[in-house]
């Protein structure tokens, strides 16, 4: 139960960092949370009330006692009292925390073969998908993901870790997120096959037991940044789109919430960076207002890439 609550808190913190202020909760989920709360309350024994002593009023009595004879004081030998042992704290009844993730190795020095960009890109993908640190951390039944797209892609779209569909299908931004992502880049005049789509981490970090994910640790981010730098140096994109607060913080460290930093150009490794919401945000907030916010960021990327922008495109989601 403790692990489930920790996972729920971790997910809510991630949503808050990505700019989500409200979360829809079904009646069934509310009942489940109430059940967890009742179980937690039942696990703590309530103190039994102590009955106050009964006070009886009695009439005052006057007792006359004979004076006692004076006795000589009794001299007693000193008695040594053994020192009492310190009280031991009661054992904690809370559930044990999941084991911490093993520390990452030292970030690798990548030595890709010389040659055309496409060949170097293929070698980098092969190196990433066979990385020993990733192979020991990917969950059973899940796949590693790297990146997809051509070596001459004008723009790189980056997430910080694979989603649940990505880890299942072995492709960055798969499932429903991939469908929406494909529509966005197509609306920009860039089919998905013409852009570069990458995840910083090739695996989805999961809490022990595999029932939920966790956010990447700083040493995990540091370990995989050399792969991202090599990807940028090989492809030389003219713009980079950081999808979500996780991707933004992987590039720049601690940042403002994505709701405040989106739409403002920054720079990483000499490449202009546009932070915006993650695709999953648009799925959770399926409104024209949310879509328009992200589309305005995409319009800025199109202008940076010198892509043609029609009046129809400028009016999307208004």
Digit-coded pLDDT (tens) for 174-196: 999 999 999 999 999 999 999 99
Q: Going by C-beta distance under 8 Å and a sequence separation of 6 or more, which residues neighbour residue 295? A: 184, 187, 316, 317
3-state SS, residue 198: strand
Q: What angle do CA 239, 242, 248 make, to 5 degrees?
A: 125
pLDDT score at 23 = 67
pLDDT score at 168 = 86
pTM score > 0.85 for this model? Answer: no
Tell me the C-alpha to C-alpha distance, in Å, between residue 282 and each of 41, 184, 191, 248. Answer: 37, 11, 19, 17
239-243 vs 266-268, strand pairing mode: unpaired
- Structural contact between residues 146 and 125, judged by C-beta atoms closer than 8 angstroms: yes
At 79-95, the pLDDT tens digits run 454 555 555 555 545 54
pLDDT surpasses 60 at 293 = yes
pLDDT score at 150 = 97
Q: How confident is the model at residue 103 (pLDDT cuts 50, 70, 90)?
A: confident
- Structural contact between residues 215 and 14, judged by C-beta atoms closer than 8 angstroms: yes
At 108-134, the pLDDT tens digits run 999 898 999 999 999 999 999 999 999
At 243-282, the pLDDT tens digits run 999 999 999 999 999 999 999 999 999 999 999 999 999 9
Q: What is the CATH number of domain 117-314?
A: 3.40.470.10
Average pLDDT, the chain: 82
3-state SS, residue 90: coil
């Amino acid at each position: 139960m403790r692990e489930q609550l920790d996972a729920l808190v971790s997910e809510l913190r991630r949503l808050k960092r990505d700019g989500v202020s409200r979360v829809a909760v079904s009646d069934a989920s509310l009942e489940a949370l109430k059940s967890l709360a009742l179980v937690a309350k039942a696990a703590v024994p309530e103190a039994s009330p102590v009955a106050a002593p009964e006070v009886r009023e009695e009439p005052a009595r006057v007792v006359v006692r004979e004076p006692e004879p004076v006795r000589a004081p009794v001299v007693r030998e000193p008695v040594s009292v053994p020192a009492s042992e310190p009280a031991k704290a009661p054992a904690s009844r809370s559930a044990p925390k999941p084991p911490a993730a093993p520390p990452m190795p030292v970030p690798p020095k990548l030595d890709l073969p010389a040659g055309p960009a496409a060949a170097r890109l293929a070698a980098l993908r092969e190196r990433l998908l066979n990385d020993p640190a990733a192979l020991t951390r990917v969950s059973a039944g899940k796949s590693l993901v790297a990146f997809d797209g051509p070596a001459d892609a004008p723009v790189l779209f980056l997430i910080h870790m694979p989603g649940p569909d990505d880890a299942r299908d072995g492709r960055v931004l798969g499932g429903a997120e991939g469908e929406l992502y494909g529509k966005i880049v197509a609306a920009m005049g860039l089919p998905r096959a013409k852009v570069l789509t990458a995840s910083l981490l090739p695996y989805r970090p999961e809490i022990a037991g595999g029932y939920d994910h966790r956010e990447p640790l700083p040493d995990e981010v540091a370990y995989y940044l050399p792969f991202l730098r090599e990807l940028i140096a090989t492809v030389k994109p003219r713009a980079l789109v950081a999808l979500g607060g996780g991707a933004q913080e992987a590039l720049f460290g601690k940042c403002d919430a994505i709701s405040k930093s989106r739409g403002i150009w920054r720079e990483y490794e000499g490449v202009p960076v546009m932070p915006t919401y993650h695709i999953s945000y648009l799925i959770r907030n399926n409104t024209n207002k949310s879509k328009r916010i992200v589309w305005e960021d995409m319009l800025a990327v199109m202008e940076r890439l010198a892509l043609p922008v029609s009046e129809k495109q400028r009016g999307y989601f208004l």
